[in-house]
Amino acid sequence: MPELPEVETTVRLLRPRLVGRVIRGARVLWERSLGGQRAADFASRVSGARIARAWRRAKFVVLDLERGGRSAGALLCHLRMTGRLYLRGESEGLEEYIRVRLPLDRGELVFLDVRKLGRLRHFEAPETVFAQLGPEPLEDSFDVESFRAALRARRGRLKSLLLDQSFVAGLGNIYVDEALHRARLHPLARADRLRRADVDRLHAAIRSTLLEAIEREGSSFDAFYRTPEGQPGSFQDQFQVYGRAGEPCRTCATPIRRIVVGQRGTHFCQRCQRRRTT
Partner DNA sequence: AGCTACTCCTGGTAGC
Partner DNA sequence: TGCTACCAGGAGTAGC
Residue from the set 10, 91, 173, 220 that interacts with DNA by CB under 7 A: 173
Residue from the set 21, 121, 157, 203 that interacts with DNA by CB under 7 A: 157
Tell me if 152 contacts DNA by CB under 7 A.
no
Is 264 in the active site? Answer: yes
- Give 19 or 30: the residue with its C-beta nearer to DNA: 30
- Give 103 or 156: the residue with its C-beta nearer to DNA: 156
Angle between helices 196-215 and 4-18 in degrees, nearest 10:
40
Is 2 in the active site? Answer: yes
- Give 23 or 209: the residue with its C-beta nearer to DNA: 209
Tell me if 262 contacts DNA by CB under 7 A.
yes
The minimum distance between CB 70 and DNA, in angstroms, equals 27
Is 159 in the active site? Answer: no
The minimum distance between CB 145 and DNA, in angstroms, equals 19
- Give 148 or 154: the residue with its C-beta nearer to DNA: 154
Is 248 in the active site? Answer: no
Residues 98-117 that bind DNA (CB under 7 A): 114-117
Tell me if 77 contacts DNA by CB under 7 A.
no
Give the Cα separation of 266 and 259 in Å (integer).
Answer: 5
Which listed range, 19-27, 44-52, 169-177, 204-212, lies at the site for DNA (CB under 7 A)? 169-177
Give the Cα separation of 185 and 87 in Å (integer).
Answer: 41
Tell me if 39 contacts DNA by CB under 7 A.
no
The single residue of 2, 126, 137, 228 carrying the catalytic annotation is 2
Tell me if 1 contacts DNA by CB under 7 A.
yes
Length reported for the chain: 278
- Residue 66's DSSP bridge partners are 50, 71
Residue 262 CB: number of other CB atoms within 10 A? 13
What is the residue-wise DSSP string for the chain?
Answer: ---HHHHHHHHHHHHHHHTT-BB---EESSGGGGTT--HHHHHHHHTT-EEEEEEEETTEEEEEEEETTEEEEEEEEE-TTTEEEEETTSS-S-GGGEEEEEEBSSSEEEEEETTS--EEEEES-THHHHTTS---TTSTTS-HHHHHHHHHT--SBHHHHHH-TTTSSS--HHHHHHHHHHTT--TT-BGGG--HHHHHHHHHHHHHHHHHHHHTT----SSS---TTS---SGGGG-SSTT-TTSBPTTT-PBPEEEEETTEEEEE-TTTS-----
- Give 73 or 134: the residue with its C-beta nearer to DNA: 134
Tell me if 57 contacts DNA by CB under 7 A.
no
Tell me if 80 contacts DNA by CB under 7 A.
yes
Judged by CB under 7 A, the number of residues near DNA is 32
Residue from the set 73, 134, 137, 172 that interacts with DNA by CB under 7 A: 172
Give the residues lining the site for DNA (CB under 7 A): 1, 3, 32, 58-59, 78, 80-82, 114-117, 154-157, 160-161, 163, 165, 172-174, 191, 222-223, 261-265
The residues that are catalytic are 2-3, 59, 264
